[in-house]
Amino acid sequence: MRKLLCTLLALLMITGCSSEGGNTQNDDNTFVVGMECNYAPFNWTDAASNGTNHPETSGNYCDGYDVQVAKKIAEGLNQELVIMKLDWDALQPALATDTIDAIIAGMTATPERAENAEFTTPYYQSEMVMIVLKDSELAKATSINDFSGHKVLGQLNTMYDTVIDQIPNVEH
């Protein structure tokens, strides 16, 4: 049952590959995945091998849920996994230019992103949350409007960053 589930997951994730049919790197039997390796617990960078992580192209190692999913997909394809560590803003251009075969990252499907990539069924869905210190005046906030007049930040060019501007008088 577990093997069947992994195979189905692999097939679902592969639909996220470039609609051009993959890149020329597949000629050498590799599955090249782009990820930021900077978004724990989904993907992060390690300096040394630890038995669960995987080498990435800048010379370090990458680990996390996304890495484990990428390993299963590569295994299902009978291809060698190559993880290409890229800045967030470089992921979609790398897919569009066939530098990578797939992006495996916490990327929300939007109409703009879907113009250049096919999205699979997510293997994880999260809610947007605000994180504050437990003794902060905002610890009992119940609405996004409670953050009006406060400093709020989110990772640049992500859905989290774009929501901030919906807060009245926010210091973004």
Instruction: List the domain boundaries for the chain.
Output: 2-114, 127-172
pLDDT tens-digit profile of 17-75? 433 444 444 457 999 999 999 989 999 999 999 999 999 999 999 999 999 999 999 99
Rounded distance, CA 117 to CA 95, Å?
8
* Residue in the block written with tokens 């630890």: 50
- Which of 57, 34, 61 shows the shortest CA–CA distance to 46? 61
Q: Output the average pLDDT for the chain.
A: 83
Superfamily of domain 2-114 in the CATH hierarchy: Periplasmic binding protein-like II (3.40.190.10)
pLDDT tens-digit profile of 86-101? 999 999 999 999 999 9
Rounded distance, CA 123 to CA 121, Å?
6
Residue 23: predicted pLDDT: 44
For the segment 80-90, the average pLDDT, to the nearest whole number, is 96
Residue 51: predicted pLDDT: 93
- The alpha carbons of the chain give a radius of gyration, in whole angstroms, of 18
Residue 27: predicted pLDDT: 57
Instruction: Provide the whole-model pTM.
Output: 0.69
For the segment 98-122, the average pLDDT, to the nearest whole number, is 91
One-letter amino acid of 142: T
Q: How far, in Å, are 21, 33, 70, 135, 137 from residue 132 at the CA level?
A: 44, 33, 33, 8, 9
